């Protein structure tokens, strides 16, 4: 889907500053708590890492940018909890007002869920099935598959010019452009299906090098950009 999260390759954001060598993991204590709450919210709501990324890319511009990196995490966590029928829409604001002494009642939690979530992953579903336990504890995203890679190192490939309606890790700025396969990475879970609980669909991942002039025209500075792309994102060039 097209959203504020797909910022790569766009202009108008100012210079990118490298982090300080002594930069802490969390600059302020609330950021560490936000990270922990988001991890917990992902599990409680029955989501996975790709569904979390999809929640972030569906935030509006203010929710994505105005409160910083970990504020974005909290906004995505709230969205996942609402869609997982753990929180009601507006419940966080109601609780905050109640803590300020306004005596606001919490809105009721809707039993409907706006996105596809396995029934056994929902908070009120009772003991999880063996399948859902395995899904929650899967060893990361890397997988071993029998299929041979469709593309070879040194091969010229093109990123498909597509606009998936749901989650995707295909950056907009490389779509329709050609590059060279530099490395074939281990196979991994395909985020476009995994985020929507449509299966892992593991496949090979390729590090593809793009020339800056291919991406941004002859007026661009001369450099190259390497992007890791799933096999489904690529096609051969003539």
Q: What is the mean pLDDT of each run of 10 residues along the chain (238 residues)?
A: 85 86 94 96 93 95 94 96 91 88 80 49 52 56 96 98 95 97 97 95 98 96 97 94
Interstrand relation of 156-159 and 224-230 (parallel, antiparallel or unpaired): unpaired
Yes or no: say if 230 and 208 are a contact pair by the CB < 8 Å rule: no
**In the structure encoding, which two tokens stand for residue 180, read together?**
């060279």
Distance CA 3, CA 65 (A): 12
Give the max Cα distance, the chain.
68
Q: What distance in Å separates the CA atoms of residue 84 and residue 80, rounded to the nearest whole number?
A: 6
Helix and strand totals (H; E) in the chain: 8, 5
Tokens of 61: 């511009």
Strands of 178-188's sheet in order across: 224-230, 203-211, 178-188, 156-159, 234-236
pTM for this predicted structure: 0.83
pLDDT of residue 120: 47
Tokens of 62: 């203010």
The pLDDT score that the predictor gives to residue 138 is: 55
Tokens of 77: 């966590």
Whole-number pLDDT of residue 187: 97
Rounded to whole angstroms, how far apart are CA atoms 187 and 206? 9
How many C-beta neighbours within 10 Å does residue 54 have? Answer: 26
196/73 Cα distance (integer angstroms): 19
Spatial separation of the C-alpha atoms in residues 75 and 64, rounded to whole Å: 8
Residue 220: what pLDDT?
A: 94
Predicted local confidence at residue 4, as pLDDT: 85
Instruction: Give the helix ranges, DSSP H, for the chain.
Output: 29-44, 49-57, 61-65, 68-83, 91-99, 130-136, 191-194, 212-216
């Amino acid at each position: 889907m097209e959203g504020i999260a797909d910022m790569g390759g766009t202009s108008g954001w100012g210079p990118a500053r490298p982090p300080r060598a002594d930069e802490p993991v969390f600059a302020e204590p609330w950021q560490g708590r936000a990270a922990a709450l988001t991890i917990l919210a992902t599990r409680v709501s029955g989501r996975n890492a790709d569904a979390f990324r999809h929640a972030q890319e569906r935030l509006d511009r203010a929710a994505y940018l105005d409160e910083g990196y970990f504020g974005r995490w909290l906004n995505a966590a709230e969205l996942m909890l609402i869609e997982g029928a753990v929180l009601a829409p507006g419940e966080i604001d109601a609780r905050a007002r109640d803590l300020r002494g306004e005596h606001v009642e919490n809105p009721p939690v809707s039993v409907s869920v706006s996105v596809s979530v396995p029934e056994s992953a929902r908070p009120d579903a009772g003991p999880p099935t063996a399948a859902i336990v395995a899904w929650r504890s899967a060893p990361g995203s890397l997988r071993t598959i029998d299929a041979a890679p469709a593309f070879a190192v040194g091969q010229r490939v093109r990123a498909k010019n597509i606009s998936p309606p749901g989650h995707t890790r295909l950056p907009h700025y490389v779509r329709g452009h050609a590059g060279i396969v530099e490395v074939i990475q281990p196979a991994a879970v395909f985020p476009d299906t995994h985020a929507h609980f449509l299966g892992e669909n593991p496949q090979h991942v390729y590090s593809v090098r793009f020339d800056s002039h291919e991406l941004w025209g002859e007026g661009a500075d001369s450099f190259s950009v390497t992007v890791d792309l799933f096999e489904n994102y690529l096609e051969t060039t003539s």
